[in-house]
Amino acid sequence: MNIARLLPLACLLWAGLAHAQSKADCPTLPVDSGLAWDKLDSADFTFCKAIRDSDARQVFAVMIAEDSPFRPNRSNRAEQTVIDGHEAHWYRGELAGSPDMLVRETLIELDRDRVAHISFRAVTEEELAQAIRAVEGIRFDGARLSSN
């Protein structure tokens, strides 16, 4: 076989492998959570939606990227939480046209200059508590959390 013909193919395979390795994995969900990930990768981020198996509804979302447009505002602090062993705060958000919707967001610093922006919407206080418990059970196995 001609090596000159294999070289372009090898370069394409190598580039694809390098590109795939730059993608983040979704955090690990608790085994008994009844949730599964719906994952979308782009060149700049990985977006993971935690979907409930029983009714296919989104419970929360995690976006892993080098940066996030979300900027926590101390005046919007709500519940305290612990995610993968690290303390954090949930921040209240708003959804235009749905003033009664309970929106929460937080930002977790990961290693290698990456952050995880976690968000969810809830209709009731019970849904809010369930979503918080679900997020508290995830683990960022592929990345160490910052101590910040």
Q: In the chain, where are the structural domains located?
A: 25-136
**CA–CA separation, 116 and 26 (whole Å):** 10
- Kindly state the average pLDDT of the residues 9-19: 38
> Between 8 and 140, where is the model more confident?
140
Looking at the domain 25-136, which fold is it?
Jelly Rolls (2.60.120)
| Runs of H (alpha helix) within the chain | 3-21, 125-136
**CA–CA separation, 63 and 52 (whole Å):** 18
Q: Are 134 and 37 in contact (CB under 8 A)?
A: no
Q: What is the pLDDT of residue 145?
A: 52
Helix (H) or strand (E) holding 58: strand 58-65
pLDDT surpassing 70 at residue 4: no
In the structure, what pLDDT confidence band is assigned to residue 143 with cuts at 50, 70 and 90?
low
| Beta-carbon contacts of residue 134 (< 8 Å; ≥ 6 apart) | 30, 33, 35, 50, 59, 60
Percent of the chain clearing pLDDT 70 (strictly above): 80
Q: What is the pLDDT of residue 113?
A: 83
Q: What is the pLDDT of residue 15?
A: 39
Angle at 86 between CA 107 and CA 38, to 5 degrees: 55
Q: What is the pLDDT of residue 60?
A: 97
Q: What is the pLDDT of residue 112?
A: 72
- Distance (Å) of CA 37 to CA 23, 27, 63, 105, 124: 15, 9, 12, 18, 23
